[in-house]
Chains A and B, each alone.
Chain A
Amino acid sequence: MDRTKIDLWVGIFVALGVASLLGLAMKVGNLTSGKIGETYSVTAAFENVGGLKSRAPVKSAGVVVGRVDNIAFNSKTYEAIVTIYIDKRYHFPKDTFANIYTAGLLGEQYVGLEAGGDEEVLKNGDKIAKTQDAIVLEKMISKFLFSKASETNADAKQSTSTTQQETKPAVAKSTELGDPPF
């Protein structure tokens, strides 16, 4: 076993090791998909972020346009301040809606951006004014039960014009919550 053969094989061995570490880091881990290109940061205030975590995707029309960076709590307004990074290639108008949706039925949550119609665009450090909170399952169930209870109460009474007005807003509320995710 002469030295050149040993050197060659040890070199191949170490090269294999480095290649597998790089492969693990890039392909398996998330070392490269941090921020592709330049980004600008924007904040949004939510009353309830649900299960949103940092590094969750920010999607618009279903395409990932950025990442959630930081979720902080504002102790004055008791709201959650979410900082998101958006890719510099994409510009959103100032009246963009920021909603928190759930991928699938019980999957992880992400921020969905719906563009408005304003001519001015969001710049670095701007605040998204219009937000919709995450759907909390318990609140939805309690609202559904409440609207069901008020429906049966209205049927029990004789049908008058006031009860018909009561049922219409209750029906409208339950469909408002059922916004489908992207």
Chain B
Amino acid sequence: MTKSNPLIGIIKYLQVIGHRMVERIWRLGAGARLFFLTIIYSGESFKRFHLTMREIYATGVLSLLIIIVSAFFVGMVLALQGYNTLQKYGSSEAIGVLVALSLVRELGPVVTALLFAGRAGTAITAEIGLMKTTEQLSAMEMMAVNPIARVVAPRFWAGVISMPILATLFSMVGILGGYLVAVPLIGVDEGAFWSQMQANVDFQTDIVNGVIKSLVFGVACTMIALFEGFDAPPTAEGVSRATTRTVVISSLTVLGLDFVLTSFMLVI
């Protein structure tokens, strides 16, 4: 009797872990199903494009403020920190290359995705979670309106369209911020700043890869936000939990995907 008690405790603990793992994998499968259904029912979001336009406004345009201001400050900090280290080796004219490559290759797509998940992703999750709680999605099904085609797909395509635009905007404004710190403030030569940047930033390997990354992150972040909202328990607590889950899972996914994509791109 005394020997079986700790064993039962361990077995129960293992069962709990196993149950949680199975539930997570089940949710992953449900998310994949929602993804495929979204793609299949996407016709309406392009035929009635004003639906998608409204969502582009909600996810893209309303995120402009945070993206532009963050980009500006990130670019300025990059220039400051970069200059601090480069001038020890007499290479302070490489500051343009440093700022441009850091932004275009990595910081542009990744930081934009994190901010996008925080701002637009949570908005999407809360909105759909609330629609589910107030039974609007069920009402749509009653009226023979496909809720995925009407609610989920336009938001998905809006996120996919907005993310690359936001990421390139981030890179551009960041480079501008870096320029404003490096040339007027610190005194790096303007011609050297731009010419070294142009010599070392390649359109195909750097800029296009950055856009591809931002597209992938857009798909991931938007789909995670949509699924968390769609699958949220229809209570107030459930919706708020789903919102935080969106941010956490989107951020982890973006960083993991960034590593995978970068390792592919650097090899090729």
**Chain A: residues with CB nearer than 8 A to chain B?**
1, 3, 6-7, 9-10, 12-14, 16-17, 20-21, 23-25, 27-31, 33
Cross-chain contact B203 with A13 (CB below 8 angstroms):
no
- Which residues of B (180-205) have their CB < 8 Å from a CB of A? 194, 197-199, 201-203
Enumerate chain A residues within 8 angstroms of B169, measured Cβ to Cβ.
Answer: 16-17, 20
Cross-chain contact B165 with A29 (CB below 8 angstroms):
no
Given contacts A7-B53, A13-B64, A17-B165, contact A24 B171 (CB under 8 A): yes
Chain A interface: which of B9-17, B54-62, B219-227?
Answer: B54-62
Q: B104 interface residue, CB < 8 Å from A? A: yes
B42-70 interface mask toward A, CB cutoff 8 Å, 1 = contact, 0 = none? Answer: 00000000100110110011001000000
Enumerate chain B residues within 8 angstroms of A6, measured Cβ to Cβ.
Answer: 50, 53-54, 57
Q: B77 interface residue, CB < 8 Å from A? A: no
Closest beta carbon of chain A to B119's beta carbon, Å: 14
B153-176 interface mask toward A, CB cutoff 8 Å, 1 = contact, 0 = none? Answer: 000000000101110110111010
Cross-chain contact B60 with A10 (CB below 8 angstroms):
yes
Instruction: Report the Cα distance A16→B172, complex, angstroms.
Output: 10
8 Å CB contact of B168 from A1, A10, A12, A20: A20
8 Å CB contact of A29 from B50, B56, B164, B206: B206
**Chain B: residues with CB nearer than 8 A to chain A?**
50, 53-54, 56-57, 60-61, 64, 100, 104, 162, 164-166, 168-169, 171-173, 175, 194, 197-199, 201-203, 206-207, 211
| A-B contacts, 28 listed (Cβ < 8 Å) | A1-B54, A6-B53, A7-B53, A10-B53, A13-B56, A13-B57, A13-B60, A13-B64, A13-B165, A14-B165, A17-B169, A20-B169, A20-B171, A20-B173, A23-B172, A24-B104, A24-B207, A25-B203, A25-B207, A27-B198, A28-B104, A28-B171, A28-B172, A28-B175, A28-B197, A28-B207, A29-B198, A30-B199
Chain B residue nearest to A31 (CB atoms) is B203
Cross-chain contact B168 with A21 (CB below 8 angstroms):
yes
What total of A-B pairs shows CB separation below 8 Å? 75
Instruction: Report the Cα distance A152→B247, complex, angstroms.
Output: 74
Cross-chain contact A33 with B198 (CB below 8 angstroms):
yes
Enumerate chain A residues within 8 angstroms of B175, measured Cβ to Cβ.
Answer: 24, 28
Cross-chain contact B171 with A17 (CB below 8 angstroms):
no
Enumerate chain A residues within 8 angstroms of B202, measured Cβ to Cβ.
Answer: 29-30
Enumerate chain B residues within 8 angstroms of A29, measured Cβ to Cβ.
Answer: 198, 201-203, 206-207
Cross-chain contact A30 with B203 (CB below 8 angstroms):
yes
Instruction: Report the Cα distance A1→B54, complex, angstroms.
Output: 9
Cross-chain contact A3 with B50 (CB below 8 angstroms):
yes
Enumerate chain A residues within 8 angstroms of B173, measured Cβ to Cβ.
Answer: 20
Instruction: Report the Cα distance A21→B210, complex, angstroms.
Output: 11
8 Å CB contact of A9 from B57, B166, B172, B206: B57
Instruction: Report the Cα distance A143→B178, complex, angstroms.
Output: 45
Closest beta carbon of chain B to A158's beta carbon, Å: 48
Instruction: Report the Cα distance A32→B172, complex, angstroms.
Output: 17
Enumerate chain A residues within 8 angstroms of B194, measured Cβ to Cβ.
Answer: 27
Instruction: Report the Cα distance A115→B199, complex, angstroms.
Output: 26
Cross-chain contact A28 with B198 (CB below 8 angstroms):
yes
